[in-house]
Structure 1
Amino acid sequence: MTLSDTQLRSLSPLALAYIGDAVYELFVRSCYLVPPQRVQAYHRQVVSQVRAEQQAHYLELLRPHLTQAEEEITRRGRNAAPKRRQRAQPADYQQATALEALMGYLYLTDSQRLVEVLSYLPLNEEAP
């Protein structure tokens, strides 16, 4: 999908996070596809990587690799995170929303950069 600059600028950070959530989860799912396992095992591994706490941790790992424009997207995503109670700590939830906004932005603007950024994530390690 190709969006014009005007269309892209009109998207809210939460809209970027909405699409970024799907992009990130699909990426994580694809990382755990091999070796073949039972669906329960896939699910357990993926859930450990898509939790807000883990996403917040991964955003911190990515920060040294982000451009100023990407940092701005994460700032907007963090500030737009809903303030209502979640299962995660509010700070973790804000950081997770920031990561998802970044994933959505890169998916819509630069797929090669998205792949590069995702390559920095240590997804084969156990979640803390």
Structure 2
Amino acid sequence: MTEKNWALLNGLALAYVGDAIYETYIRDYLVNQGQTRPNQLHRMATHFVSAKAQAFLMHEMISAELLSEEEETMFKRGRNAKSHTSAKNADITTYRISTGFEALMGFLHLSGRKERMEELINWCIQKVEETNDAKK
């Protein structure tokens, strides 16, 4: 099989994969934390995977200058992609930023950069947990 240049894939295709990958990591994390009740799992997962949460995390990553130039480019590719769907619970700007977040995760996954993807996901989990703790 030839090496694919995943950086050439359109932003929505990257986001499609990234959405599934990120959600799987979050579900694993929550179950590993001892959460087992489906309603509670779903409610807790939204703190990590909602468009609002992903847009917040993306802003935080950019502010902290965590991303390489290539990673920011992949985020922008997803953010700027023309989607024919709209968010159920978010404004269009928030939705587009979250699509960019998912595109970044999809790119890292597809290009075999698992260690980097997990580094960013773990950072995101820690950031959400800190934010939730501050609200308590």
- The amino acid across from 1:32 in the alignment is L
Identity rate, percent: 31
Query: For 2:132, what is the secondary structure of its paired residue?
Result: coil
- 2:63 maps to 1:57: no
Unaligned runs of 5+ in 1: none
CA gap of 1:126–1:105, structure 2 versus 1, over 3 A, is same
* TM alignment of 1:20-99, pairs within 5 A: 20-33=18-31, 34-63=33-62, 64-82=65-83, 84-87=85-88, 88-99=90-101
Q: 1:116 matched to which residue of 2?
A: 119
Q: CA deviation at 1:10?
A: 4.3
TM-score (norm 1): 0.87
Size of the aligned set, in residue pairs, is: 126
Over the aligned positions, Cα root-mean-square deviation in angstroms equals 2.1
Cα distance in 2 for residues equivalent to 1:81 and 1:112: 30
TM-score (norm 2): 0.82
Q: CA deviation at 1:20?
A: 0.1
